[in-house]
Structure 1
Amino acid sequence: MAKKKKKDSDPKVHDDLKGFKMNINSFGEISSSFPIDKINEFLNKNVEDKKLKDRDDLDFNEKDDK
């Protein structure tokens, strides 16, 4: 018999994103508990852009930026 998973518990998230929730309504609109600017700031800081990492024409080091 298959094990049942708890669906009521909150997922594990990064400490900077505690309380983050996303919902999609019946019209397909995405609503979030955080402003989009805060989400983008987090992603810029913690996620490497795969398209830009091998470009020679950019003299940009993400770790030195922040």
Structure 2
Amino acid sequence: MAKNSKKKDIPKVNEELEGFKMNINSFGEISSSFSIDKINAFLNKNVDDKKLRDREDSKEEKKK
């Protein structure tokens, strides 16, 4: 017998992104509970961009 539960599982996320929700409406517009600037700051801090690894200016920013 299969259970038919409609309980939504909450995915595990980084503590800094707690409460982050993203929706796409019927017109294809994306809405988010966080501002784009906050998302970009998180990604810049936590994700290594392999295209920018060997650039001189990106190394200087990391030293600061």
What's the TM-score, normalizing by structure 1?
0.75
1:1-66 equivalence runs, <5 A: 8-55=8-55, 58-61=56-59, 63-65=62-64
Gaps of 5+ in 1: none
Give yes or no for contact 2:52–2:58 (8 Å, CA) kept in 1.
no
Q: What is the root-mean-square deviation of aligned Cα atoms in Å?
A: 2.6
Aligned length: 62
Q: Following TM superposition, where does structure 1 have runs of at least 4 consecutive aligned residues deviating by more than 6 angstroms? A: none
Deviations 1:1-60 (A, max 9, x none): x9x8976021110010000010011111110000111000000000111111134xx243
- Percent identity for Structure 1 against Structure 2: 70
Gaps of 5+ in 2: none
What's the TM-score, normalizing by structure 2?
0.77
